[in-house]
Structure 1
């Protein structure tokens, strides 16, 4: 058995991971806006996407660690798989929203 300490609250860590990711992503995107290499709308979009992905990844990692503490390797792999799927889903939804926004911008210009 791997001693991972007391089981941790997954939902609480999702919230913590989301907030930590928002702070990091927000700072990075703000820097890009200040340099003029990124627009405000794109920076907000990127910050939201990265924040959600960070929360999902953190929650999956904590859930996997909780399973490892019980020597439940299948549960740990399942939690990581769900985390990967969640991050991927957020990425794909983000891409679709950006494509839709680009199409609407082109239509508005015509």
Structure 2
């Protein structure tokens, strides 16, 4: 898939055995100290991001539903960081699908 067409990524669930405490950079979500974790092969999230040249706003879908509130806000904050870094104001459509229950305490 070319960058102008969008991107697709798959991330496996990650279980932290030793968690970090605090962040050295809140905006970039960097930990203050190391952690130890493992991925679970059978549980994952697939996310696709495509440009939406006809829209003046981003569209975020999670598990087949339009995202709102804090879920949408977190995605938009990240997209804004990417846009600022790339110098590209383009709006996008984000579709993210989990194969495990949302808000189950699992990270992907």
TM-score by length of 1: 0.27
Structure with the higher strand share, 1 or 2: 2
TM-score, structure 2 normalization: 0.28
Q: Which has the larger radius of gyration?
A: 1
